[in-house]
């Protein structure tokens, strides 16, 4: 397989990358001899490009689901048709859905596999690299591959990048063609936000950390915290899924939820913060990586469980007003003291 160097890897999934080549004229990657050799008696010389064809046929030959990728591929080939001479070639890409053996077959795949001799977990595209006249895509295994989960703009960017490889451009050409960077920022297709998921952590076991050497964290409070996780593990919550398991860990770095006691808060006596991922770049987290429930050290120890449960449940809720049950929003001291009962 001639896929060496034809890798594009995912760097961040928060914003879309800008596309387009440099304003400066890039070095050509075509042959130094721009005048084609005669193709035979009374015949026209073939165009100078790897396929020696005026029209280089492109076709999506494989894709999962019903999403239509053809308009996105057409946008990608338009980019290179506008820049074909600047790369040093003649001819043009033409999308042809009827040709049996397209010059450039494109596969839209759930996951990009081995690309040349290198494989990374974040690879989102792969292509063979050709830069000599007469070397066309001839092997059945030589496809452009593009990951299916990308949104429309990122699919176009990645396809442009991979088509650039078929024209002989490599990642070393990124100074002249920014679209050829090895890593570009992309966004995925629209996904449910964390507040729309029953389990925003997407793990069946949620590890919880609290430092038993922290000031004010005594055996009684630890027992109160342990009761919170037993409550969830017993399936008693109206919001937190019953098939989850909460488990205390002594390794802070592996915990999804941390219970942190502090000396005073700017507002109130407890709060929560969280970090997450936004692969579809819509401004909202699709999943949470970690969350921290922060509790003032001066909180009555009988209310620690309530504050912990309130914010933990909040993380799994829609976070809209009225989403939490009354028992976790009440100001009644006796209800707070008895929760979970």
- Three-state DSSP state, 244: coil
Q: Quick count: other Cβ atoms within 10 Å of Cβ 40?
A: 9
pLDDT at 214 over 50: yes
Q: Locate the domains of the chain by residue range.
A: 7-184, 194-338
Q: What pLDDT, on a 0 to 100 scale, did the predictor assign at position 105? A: 94
CA–CA separation, 292 and 269 (whole Å): 14
Q: Is the pLDDT of residue 28 over 70?
A: no
- Cβ proximity of 293 and 257 under 8 Å: yes
Residue scoring higher pLDDT (12 or 269): 269
Question: In angstroms, rounded to a whole number, what is the distance separating the alpha carbons of residues 310 and 307?
Answer: 5
What is the predicted pLDDT for the residue at 9? 42
Instruction: Give the E-state strand segments of the chain in sequence order.
Output: 7-10, 55-62, 92-95, 104-109, 123-126, 144-147, 183-184, 205-210, 245-248, 257-262, 270-277, 287-296
Give the separation between CA 153 and CA 134, rounded to whole angstroms: 32
Whether 325 and 331 have beta carbons less than 8 Å apart is answered as no
What's the confidence (pLDDT) of residue 16?
21
Output the pTM of the full model.
Answer: 0.59
Domain 194-338 sits in CATH 3.40.390: yes
Q: Rounded to the nearest 10 degrees, how much is the dihedral formed by the CA atoms of 25, 29, 33, 39?
A: -120
Neighbour tally for 327: CB within 10 Å: 18
18-22, 26-30, 154-158, 253-257: least confidently modelled range:
18-22
The per-residue DSSP string of 118-164 comes to B--TTEEEE-----STT----STT--EEEETTB-HHHHHHHHHHHHH
Cα 276 from chain centroid? 12
Q: Which two tokens stand for residue 249?
A: 């860990």
Domain formed by 7-184, architecture: 3-Layer(aba) Sandwich (3.40)
**Is residue 181 a contact partner of residue 227, using CB atoms and an 8 Å limit?**
no
Contact 303, 222 (CB under 8 A): no
Mean pLDDT for the stretch of residues 175-192: 83
pLDDT of amino acid 14: 25
Instruction: Give the model's confidence band at 41: pLDDT under 50 very low, under 70 low, under 90 confident, else very high.
Output: low
Report whether 94 contacts 55 (CB < 8 A): yes
Give the residue carrying structure tokens 């990608």. Answer: 76
Burial of 96 (0-12, 13-18, 19+ CB in 10 A): middle
Mean of all residue pLDDT scores within the chain:
82
Query: Can you tell me the distance from the alpha carbon of 112 to that of 120, in angstroms, rounded to the nearest whole number?
Result: 9
- Dmax (CA) of the chain: 100
Whether the pLDDT of residue 18 is over 50: the answer is no
User: Do 206 and 308 touch, CB atoms closer than 8 A?
Assistant: no
Q: How confident is the model at residue 4 (pLDDT cuts 50, 70, 90)?
A: very low
Q: Give per-residue pLDDT as tens, 50-82.
A: 888 899 999 999 998 888 999 999 999 999 999
Q: Does the pLDDT value for residue 39 go beyond 70?
A: no
């Amino acid at each position: 397989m001639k896929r060496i160097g034809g890798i594009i890897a995912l760097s961040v999934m928060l914003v879309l990358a800008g596309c387009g080549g440099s304003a400066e004229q890039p070095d050509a990657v075509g042959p130094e001899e721009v005048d084609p050799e005669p193709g035979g008696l009374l015949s026209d010389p073939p165009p100078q490009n790897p396929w020696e064809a005026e029209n280089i046929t492109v076709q999506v030959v494989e894709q999962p689901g019903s999403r239509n990728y053809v308009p996105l591929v057409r946008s990608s080939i338009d980019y290179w048709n506008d820049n074909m001479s600047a790369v040093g070639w003649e001819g043009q890409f033409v999308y042809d859905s009827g040709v049996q053996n397209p010059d450039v077959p494109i596969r839209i795949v759930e996951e990009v596999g081995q690309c040349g001799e290198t494989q990374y977990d974040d690879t989102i595209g792969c292509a063979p690299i050709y830069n000599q006249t007469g070397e066309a895509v001839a092997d059945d295994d030589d496809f452009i591959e593009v990951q299916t989960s990308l949104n429309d703009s990122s699919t176009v960017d990645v396809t442009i990048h991979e088509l650039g490889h078929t024209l002989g451009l490599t990642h070393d050409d990124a100074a002249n063609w920014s679209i050829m960077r090895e890593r570009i920022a992309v966004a995925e297709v629209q996904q449910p936000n964390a507040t729309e998921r029953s389990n925003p952590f997407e793990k069946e076991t949620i590890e919880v950390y609290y430092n038993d050497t922290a000031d004010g964290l005594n055996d009684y409070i630890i027992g109160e915290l342990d009761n919170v996780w037993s409550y969830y593990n017993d399936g008693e919550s109206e919001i937190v899924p019953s098939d989850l398991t909460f488990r205390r860990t002594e390794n802070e770095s592996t915990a999804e939820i941390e219970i942190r006691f502090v000396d005073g808060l700017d507002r109130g006596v407890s709060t929560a913060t969280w970090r997450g991922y936004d692969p579809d770049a819509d401004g909202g987290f699709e999943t949470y990586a970690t969350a921290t429930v922060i509790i003032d050290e001066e909180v009555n120890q009988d209310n620690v469980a309530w504050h912990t449960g309130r914010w933990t449940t909040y993380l799994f809720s829609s976070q809209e007003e009225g989403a939490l049950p009354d028992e976790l929003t009440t100001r009644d001291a006796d209800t707070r003291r008895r929760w979970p009962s």
